[in-house]
Amino acid sequence: MNNSVSAIVTVYNKQNTIAKTLESLLSQPSKFKEIIVVDDGGTDGSAEIVKKFAEKHKNIRYAFQKNQGVALSLNAGLRMVNTDLVAVLDGDVALPENWLPTLMSYFGNKEIAAVSGLTKTMNPKNLWAALAGYNVEYRQSKIEGEFVDHLSTTNVIYRKAVLDKIGLFDPEFRYGQDNEISYRILAAGYKLVLSKKTFCLHFWPESFMGFMKQRMHGALGRVMLIKKHPKRLTGDKVSSLRYFLELPLGSAFLLSLIAPLFYPGFLIVAGFIMVLIYLFQLSEIHFFIKNKKALIGFFMPVFVALRTVAWLGGIIKFYLKG
């Protein structure tokens, strides 16, 4: 092992963004020993784009595997690197030039096993991207201090020795793999840092179905997490209990919208629950308005209902799989 840093980028049909990710890695002031792009069975033009980069830059490698999920993609990449530190990124992010030196500065503390930057929205002009992205930005903005109990594999640097010690990513997790490994890192006695000094720009799905699918996958991953780590029933600093309370509130709202078909008087109940949602989400609504997304704030009960439908879909999918 040596004290240089490698990077692993996971991709699945990211032809529209992978070039930005690689360009931002190459623009860092310090050179990565190697940049390994693991393609998880994609069928678009991502491979051709990465191979063109690899022809020009000797430290870029491309690896293809059949579709098995991001955890196995990350493990495949981790088995190829031999540096002390390894950066892990999604293939739909872009980094500012201060990203690497800022995060590297934390590793003088031997207790720190991983450091991540904030996640900001690359495509905020799109409704569905803004709804997903600003929700993450809002939740991160409410975290006090830098020590956290969950880091996203969107943009993070790990100590390779710690990952080897705890057994890499759990292959059972196609979603929520970053939460799961964060919990095991903490259990092993190490610390995690969410640095507010830098960030990544993340490209979020821009379609209604993409938004719903991502929320459903999040719910599926969360149920798996609770099964393996029951003490995490109340979530973590990024996704706290308050975030999960949306589910019963959204479910009640949905039922109150259906009930008037049989009992007209329930329209009053629907209105009452809508008011509760506005009060419950007031801080987040203010965040959207501050970021010039007042429309999202105005329709927050609708979006809560949509997220609830997606979450229920993920929970049902989990139980149908046994």
Reported as a pLDDT band with limits 50, 70 and 90, residue 173 is very high
Residue 280 pLDDT more than 60? yes
Residue 236 in contact with residue 185, Cβ under 8 Å? no
Please give the structure tokens belonging to residue 57: 């830059």
CA 149/CA 134 separation, integer angstroms: 20
> pLDDT digit string (tens) for 94-135?
999 999 999 999 999 999 999 999 999 999 999 999 999 999
Residue 265 pLDDT more than 80? no
**Confidence (pLDDT) at 322:** 64
Residue 6 pLDDT more than 70? yes
Residue 1 pLDDT more than 50? no
The reported pTM is 0.93
Reported as a pLDDT band with limits 50, 70 and 90, residue 257 is confident
- Residue percentage of the chain with pLDDT more than 70: 99
Of 199, 198, 206, nearest in space to 130 by CA: 206
Residue 204 pLDDT more than 90? yes
**Confidence (pLDDT) at 259:** 83
Strands 112-121 and 155-159: antiparallel
Residue 210 pLDDT more than 90? yes
End-to-end CA distance of the chain: 41
Domains and CATH numbers, the chain: 2-206 (3.90.550.10), 245-320 (no CATH)
Q: In this predicted structure, which of 139-143, 156-160, 236-240 has the lowest mean pLDDT?
A: 236-240
| Average pLDDT value for residue range 143-155 | 95
| CB-based contacts of 291, cutoff 8 Å, min separation 6 | 124, 130, 134, 137
Q: Mean of the per-residue pLDDT values for the chain?
A: 94
Task: For residue 91, count CB atoms less than 10 angstroms from its CB and return exposed for 0-12, middle for 13-18, buried for 19 or more.
Answer: buried
Residue 244 pLDDT more than 90? no
- Between 180 and 242, the more confident residue is 180
